[in-house]
Amino acid sequence: MNKNLLRWAAAPVGLTASAAVVLGFSSAAFTDTQTNAGNSFATHDSVALQLKDGANSALATLPLFDTANAHLNGKAADGVLKPGDTISNEITVNYTGKNDARVALTATGASAGGLADDLLVTVKNVSTSTVVGTDQALSALSVPALWDATGSATTQSQKYLITVKLAAGTTRYDATLNGVGFAFTATAQ
């Protein structure tokens, strides 16, 4: 009788174990995958800047500063600077785009170790009467948040007064610096 009882008791244990093995190995045969295809993504239009002559809204093709020639806004030649002298000029920056953008200002072609170290730049937003950069050496000019433009399909404008002063304590006499650029850069946020 014990043998029969053991057989009847072993039968459910064996069935349970074999069912687990069969289900474990056969579950991979019952899978399904559905794909949602055809998705697309886009970003808004790019940002664009245009520099204008502040006096007559013409494109700013002339330099802001020129020691020998008339330049942007019909200004006469700036001439030679003496220590402590300042010169200034205005430029209008037009932003067009659908993105919010941060407009920055840097100088190009003005490396350290020369006259550019003694040319101190101050930038004022004429539109808001805010000074956004004060007495930065031209060689290291960096105004990372000149203006935060709000994205729009229309053009927005800000006018800037850029003043350059030759440091009073300069030891650089009979020096020239040509080919300097004021680079305005708009980066979408």
Q: Model confidence over 117-159: pLDDT tens digits?
A: 999 999 999 988 999 989 999 999 999 999 988 877 678 889 9
CA distance 64 to 140: 18
Kindly report the pTM of this predicted structure: 0.75
Q: Where are the beta strands (DSSP E) in 82-179?
A: 86-97, 101-108, 119-125, 130-137, 142-149, 152-166
pLDDT at 45: 61
Taking the CA atoms of the chain, what radius of gyration do you get in angstroms? 35
Amino acid in position 94:
N
Q: In whole angstroms, what is the distance from residue 143 CA to residue 147 CA?
A: 9
Q: Which residues contact 111 (CB under 8 A, 6 or more apart)?
A: 139
Give me the architecture of the 48-188 domain, per CATH: Sandwich (2.60)
Sorted by where each begins, the domain ranges of the chain are 48-188
